[in-house]
Amino acid sequence: MKTFAQLGFPGRLIAVEGLDGSGKSTQIYLLKRWLEAEGIKVYFSEWNSSELVKSATSKGKKRELLTPTTFSLIHATDFADRYERHLLPLLRAGYVVLCDRYIFTAFARDVVRGCPPAWVRGNYSFAALPDLTFFFKADLEVSLNRILDGRPKLKFFEAGMDLQLSADPYESFRIFQGRILEQYLAMSKEFNFTLMDANQRIETQQSIARKIVRERIDLDEFRRHSPLPLPPPVQPQAAAAVEEEDSAV
C-alpha cells in the first residue's frame, strides 16, 4: 500500500485515529481551523458520514440489528462512497484532506468484533494510505471520563455491549476499548503511526501536532490564491461621479 504522495497525487491526506474519548476529534478540528487561518486549501471528512448509508446505519444501531459482519460492510460502503466522491477529487485538486478516522478504525474495531483480519483489510484494499496518521493514545480511564463529561451514559456500541463482554457498560467499555487499543498498537509500526500522548493538555497536543504537520508537509504548496482579481483602482472622475450619485440617493 502506498501513500497519496507516493502515488503522485497533488494533495495530501492527514488522518487521526484513537479510542473513543481520546480527544482526536478535537485535535483535528483545531488543525482544520489553524490550516484555514494559514490560507491552506482544506477539506474535512469524518467516519460514518456518507449520506448514502448514514440513515441505514443509524436505524440499525437504534434497533440493535447489526451483526459484526453487517456493521463492517456498512462502514466499508460508507467509506468507499466518501473516498470516491469526496476524498479523491479533492486530493486531485491539490487540497489537504483531514479525516477523523480512516481505514484503521475498521482494521481495529471489526477485528475485535470477530471479523477475520484478512477479510476486513480486503474490503479496503482500494484505499491509499494517509500521508500522515496521528494516533492519539489516552489511558482508558481518561477516555471514559472525557466521554462522561459530555453526556450522562455510554452508548450501546461504543461500550461494546453487543459483544456481551460484561453486563456493566463501564466494564464492557474498558474491555472493548482495551482490545481495540491492542489492535492499534499492533498496527502502529506497520502503518507508521505518529503517536501522540492524548493524556496531555489540549493546547500541548495541538502545538506538537502543528509542528509535525509543518515538518512533514510543505504547506506553501497548498495555499489558496485569491479567487477573484482585485478591482481596478477608482479614477478621480469616476470617484466624483459616485459621490454625486450617493449624495443624490
The domain limits of the chain are 12-248
The answer to whether 16 touches 136, Cβ cutoff 8 Å, is yes
Class of domain 12-248: alpha beta
pTM (2 decimals)? 0.85
> DSSP letter string over 174-204?
HHHHHHHHHHHHHHHTTTT-EEEETTS-HHH
∠ Cα 181 206 41 (to 5°): 105
Q: Distance between CA atoms of 131 and 143, rounded to whole angstroms? A: 26
The amino acid that residue 210 corresponds to is R
The phi, psi pair for 125, rounded to 5°, reads: -65, -15
The answer to whether 94 touches 222, Cβ cutoff 8 Å, is yes
pLDDT tens, per residue, the chain with 249 residues: 899 999 999 999 999 999 999 999 999 999 999 999 999 999 999 998 887 777 777 776 666 667 889 889 999 999 999 999 999 999 999 999 999 999 999 999 999 999 999 999 999 999 999 999 999 999 999 999 999 987 888 988 889 998 999 999 999 999 999 999 999 999 999 999 999 999 999 999 999 999 999 999 999 999 987 554 445 554 545 434 433 434 333
Among candidates 16, 18, 15, which has minimal Cα distance to 3?
15
